[in-house]
Amino acid sequence: MQLHEHRPTLAWFGDAVAGVAPGRPEAARAPLPGLARYKVLRLVGAGGMGQVYQALDTVLERHVALKVMRSDVPVGERRRFRREALLGARLLHPGLVRVYDMGMMGGEKPADPGDDREREAGWMAMEYLPGTDLLRLLEGARAKGHGLPWAALLRVFVQVLGALQYCHDCRVVHRDVKPANMFVTRDPNTRFLTTKLLDLGIAHDLDGPAATGKVEVLCGDPNYMAPEQTRANTQIDPRADIYAMGMSLYELTTGVLPFESLLDAPLATLLTAQREAEPDPPSRWLPASTPPELAQRIDQLFARACAKRPESRFQTAKEMLAAIQAPLGQSLD
């Protein structure tokens, strides 16, 4: 989308991204006994499922993010962890995070077709990304009394939609597209800012074992879930990710979720709203200084991306990308 006035580009994110501390120094205690290849430098984050460390791969001499699961994590979460690692190693795109290595808790075990190796998958080494996600950038901007500039967001959407199109070309539906999974970082060699789509843990492989396209259980963040994604045993395809991109567009441009008033409501109420309710157009929440034709374009993009019927949405990420980049004044119909 072209603007009639000069606006900052993705470089607007530069200071915020560069200012994010990578974590606190960690004691020399290795989280993976017996694995000497990775030298832990600092703890980046920790949660109920495990820890993430910044580490040095002493063989290839590069920094990696080392994700280590707790030993008592349920089997279902280990399955998700392993899926993320396998897809991260398989999918090769600059807008996705690379996974370099994966191992088992308690050391490697002999390959045995009868073993449930998903129960043992416990750590992975992946691309280390200094930076922050779009949700934190949005919260930081709102705390200062302003939003994120459209021209900077435009670059983000271009990069994320490119990564999504690649996933869909590979017959993979992400199922968890949202600002918290859009990560702004710097290329370690060129220092250019780029946005990567994170977390393939609940991605759905349309050519996987089931190969039906149907998903038996609900997966995803209910604030961004497409109507068809809110029901178990329903068909899921890439257009569910298009819907989530539309919901993300709304939040990143306005600072509020389409169904912000339902954040404290029962889950069933929010899921019903995704299927049946029409939120206010994003233009209601845009700053008064927003050019009218830009506000109209954002309304159009949201309405098309988040149509309740999948066949009424943009049919591909590439189609949505073309609409976003179209000059102002050009109809989306």
Q: Catalytic residue numbers?
A: 176
CA distance 144 to 29: 39
CA distance 298 to 326: 12
Task: Note whether 137 and 13 are within 8 A (CB).
Answer: yes
Listed residue (291, 303, 287, 284) closest to 329, CA to CA = 291
Task: Note whether 196 and 163 are within 8 A (CB).
Answer: yes
Phi-psi region of 158 (alpha: psi -120 to 50; beta: other; left: phi over 0): alpha
Strand partners, 268: none
CA distance 312 to 266: 28
Instruction: Take residue 134 and report the two structure tokens written for it.
Output: 């779009």
| H-assigned helices in the chain | 14-18, 75-90, 134-143, 150-169, 239-254, 267-276, 292-305, 317-325
CA distance 194 to 134: 12
SS3 67: strand
- Terminal C-alpha separation, the chain: 15
C-alpha distances out from residue 205 to 21, 91, 156, Å? 35, 12, 25
